[in-house]
Structure 1
Amino acid sequence: MLDTLKEKGFKFKIDSRTIEKGDIFLCLRGEKTNGHLFIEDALNRGASYVIVDEEYNKKQEERIIKVENVLKEMLESSAKILNKGAKIKIGITGSNGKTTTKECLYYLLSQYFTTFRNEMNMNTEIGIPLSILNSYNKEEISILEAGLRKKGDLEFLTQFYQFDVVIITNIGASHLEYLENIENVAQEKMKITNNMKKGLLIINGDFHLLKESAPKHLNILTFGTNNENDAILKDYEYNDNNTTTIYAKIFGQELMLTLSEYWSEGQILDLLACILFLIYLELPIDPYYIFKIKIPQDRFQIIRKGNSIIINDSYNASYESFINAFKSLDKLKISPKIMIMGEMKELGKDSQEYHRKVLQEAENIFDYIYFYDPNKEFSTFLKSDDKTVFFDNIEQIKEILLKHSEKGLIYIKGSHATGINQYIKESDLL
């Protein structure tokens, strides 16, 4: 039903405050509120229709459309739209690097095909269908980034979306609060292939748990740093002209590429997965076109201020993404090195252990470490020393940046929920 409304040019909203005249308001129930409470607000703002799955017996009923379940209707309609229009449907998941992989693949495939991808952070069971309903326009290739928070998330999505190609970037500790152990993370990530009767699966072959859980009936390609992979990252180096040169081997053939700006090791591996797919499709690789790829904002984003370099990696954080970044930062012969870090979320009972491990690794790389700890939770078991200082007022980030502004490198990273990314944006510090 929603697919028919999309064909008529309507836009779909889930927040009544954003409704403009002619929009359609979808009443969803969330953890904290219920969209049905805002029907009047949406109608007063000019909504053409309001989609509900609860009874509504007030005025203006001609603008109310009742369905069995609003979310299910969104998913079914968006899947129908995608199945009808896209010739190749690609799904991307992983503990880290999903968005970078999606954006790189979108950029590379757009040379050859009309290509759609869901918007930056719209990777949930709500965000994906909403993105399709509002932005998909019969593109030949669709790329869907799919997030995972709790058990069953990807299994639920695959009831509606059937992929021809899946890329799993990696697995890591970022889901342990809900999934308990890495084995469960691997199994849950692999559920994105549930409805694939055939097709291509591209996985990070450095993770044996992914290789072990991969369905044997699919065509499987691997990428990573180990020599057993189909695409191997052999080395990379940072150049004096602020570029990155990577040395790789794909299907036995040596490959050297130069990237604009500095890329982290994790981002290079994300790109390698995309290049592997293009070579599999026998599409030409244009080194100059690859050179022009831009990393998504706030993900190892390079900002130069005078004699100093600031690397804004504040969009999100996990143990693995910290360690990958440390490997890259160690290659940069710049001093002093300063880190402003925040908490890694969703680690559950393993939180203390992983934060301790990150700081231990960080002390080998950085001259000074500033840990944003607003609840004074981590300073109780991770003590301050000559290198590590804890602070609880986010405004102090500005002072730290000013203090170390004359020379060196400042690296900023923390989980999105810490508010560091939002503070940096709103304060216009960079």
Structure 2
Amino acid sequence: MRLSSLEITQAVQAVRHSVQDQVVPSGYSIDSRTLQPGECFIAIRGKNFDGHQFIPEVLSKGASLVIAHSNDGLDAAWPVIFVEDTLIALQRLATHVRKKWGKKVVGITGSTGKTTTKEITSFFLGARFQVFKSMGNFNNDYGLPLSILRLQEQEEVAVLELGMSAAGEISRLSKIAQPDMGVVTNVNPVHLEFFQSIQGIARAKRELIENLPSNGVAILNNDDPRVRRFGNFFSGQVLTYGVRTAAGYRVSAIRFKGLNGSEFRLDYKGSGYLFGLPLIGIHNVYNCLPAIVVAHRLGLGFEVIDQRIKQLKPSAGRGEVLHFAGFSVINDSYNSNPVALETMIQFLKRVPGHKRKILVGGEMRELGPRSPEFHRSCGNLAAKVKLDFILGVGGQACHLVEAARARGYDGNHALFFENATTAGEWLSDHVRAGDLILVKGSRGVKTELVIEALRQDHSLTKTS
């Protein structure tokens, strides 16, 4: 949204400034490397960097305006708005833009599935509305405000992802985004490095619902007992969805179609509706359900929603199916956690028509002191369902491999690799026609390098 420097000065509660009132930045950036001419540069001071060091650089690149909280080494003639804290200024500016824009906001959080749910929700709503969605997984104290600053006046609905790594963060983000509808996908053991218990994670996720307006709508996964209880903390309308338990929007039957997705029946107010979902796994049925609820609540009919569902495609590294000459790979390398990995192991086992099943499981991070236990649990499951090869990649994934070996796997079938590059080299040498391979791991492990090794040595024939 285009704002004048005068409006920006007022919104961020500037302590002083040296800029003309009529300057209108073309955008906003906190990264000197990606800043474009005409944008406003907000000099964030973080743990490992200080944006104030790059002010001369961004001005030489054509920045129209700078927001800073220190004038050390700055020329008095430079176009600078001074504030007490630049992060707070970024958040105040985003809050101002959201209020000025003034339309419907859907906020989405959860331990898993929130980014995919955001993408699906945005796609469904695009059938009727001009939709804004937060960029990638820009869902924290920096990313969410930067996303909101990209809002345009003509857009009618915003779908925003809210993440967290500490208590209070979602509450803070909710006050910036001011959602009218709040979706909570689930509460699972992720970010345990920052929380003492899963109950603490649940309380932090609940902050989204607690910050909804009284005339807002909470959309809750009724299959998750912790999320189900969030409705007790909200006086407005609560809409529920589920597969295993009674819910306002309930899936009563699912027919899995392997790598081609699934079909499911959704029951709503005594009627049943059939949907064909091209995304793989029951977890994507769960990702799809809150998007259906949001779209239906905002006036889209089930027939229109079904048309949109049929057009869904996976995002990069989030359940992509790659068909090579003779074998197939499920590229789920974008991220991982214990619940998501166990779900994909079960899915891998169920897919028919393949001679061998191979797991490449990268380390799952931010699990705290229980990390070895979670990795062993996944290794036990992989061995229990009798996958043919179990490969662990990096750090704590050694416990995944140890668990498989404790259940009888030898060193030729349960292997640990220090990094994804060596795992990819081994796999590329040992893959055979008829194999189905699952690749999954936390971002920092870079398990996508396993797939790059396969691409280098084998012909990719199709992506779905």
TM-score strictly above 0.5: yes
**CA deviation map 1:98-124 (0-9, x unaligned):** 111001110110111111111112111
Judge conservation of contact 1:3–1:80 (CA < 8 Å) in 2: no
Shift of 1:135: 4.9
Partner of residue 320, structure 1: 339
Matched letter for residue 204 of structure 2: E
Contact 2:361 2:392 in 1 (8 A): yes
Partner of 1:14: 30
Q: Out of 143-152 and 3-12, give the one that drifted further.
A: 3-12
- Which whole-Å deviations, capped at 9, do the CAs of 1:49-102 have from their partners, x for residues lacking one? 221012235326332221232222222222222222242111000000011100
Summarize deviations over 1:251-305 as a string: whole Å, max 9, x none.
3322221123x42211111101111222334421222332011122211111111
Deviations 1:323-382 (A, max 9, x none): 222333233113311011111111101101111111111123321111012588647964
1:414 partner amino acid: G
Whether the aligned pair in 2 keeps the contact of 1:163 and 1:193 (CA below 8 Å) is no
Of all paired residues, the percent bearing the same amino acid is 27
Alpha-carbon displacement from aligned partner over 1:26-48 (angstroms, at most 9, x marks no partner) = 10011211111222222232222
Would you say 1:391 and 2:417 are equivalent positions?
A: yes
Which moves more between the two structures, 194-203 or 141-150? 194-203
Partner of 2:205: 189
Equivalent of residue 392 in structure 2, options 354, 371, 390: 371
1:361 corresponds to: 381
Partners of 1:281 and 1:375 lie apart in 2 by 44
CA contact (8 A) 1:237 1:331 kept: no
1:144 corresponds to: 160
Measured against aligned partners, the alpha-carbon deviations of 1:119-164 in whole angstroms (never above 9, x if no partner) come to 1121111111112223544411111101111222112212322211
Cα deviation per residue 1:382-422 (whole Å; 9 max; x = unaligned)? 47433421111422213303421422210000011212236
Structure 1 equivalent of residue 364 of structure 2:
344
The one-letter code of the counterpart of 2:320 is Q
5 Å-filtered alignment, 1:402-417, equals 402-417=429-444
Cα 1:122–1:426, aligned 2, differ >3 Å: closer, same or farther?
farther
Which residue of the partner structure matches residue 24 of structure 1? 40
Alignment-derived partner of residue 69 in structure 1:
85
CA contact (8 A) 1:178 1:348 kept: yes
Q: State which of 230, 242, 262 in structure 2 corresponds to 1:244.
A: 262
Mapped to 1, the partners of 2:84 and 2:141 lie a distance apart of 17
Hey, what does 2:315 align to over in structure 1? 296
Partner Cα distance (1:257, 1:160) in 2: 35
Counterpart selection for 1:203 from 220, 244, 247? 220
Distance 1:77 1:15 in 2: 17
Aligned pairs (5 A) from 1:169-184: 169-184=185-200
Q: Are the equivalent residues in 1 in contact too, given 2:139–2:163 (CA < 8 A)? A: yes
Post-superposition offset of 1:201: 0.6
> What CA RMSD, in Å, does the superposition of the two structures yield over aligned residues?
2.5
- Partners of 2:173 and 2:318 in 1: how far apart? 26
The one-letter amino acid of 2:273's match is: L
Q: Is the 8 A contact 1:376 1:392 kept in 2?
A: no
**For structure 1, which runs of at least 5 residues remain unmatched after alignment?**
none
Count of aligned residue pairs for this structure pair: 429
Distance 1:423 1:71 in 2: 37
- The one-letter code of the counterpart of 1:249 is D
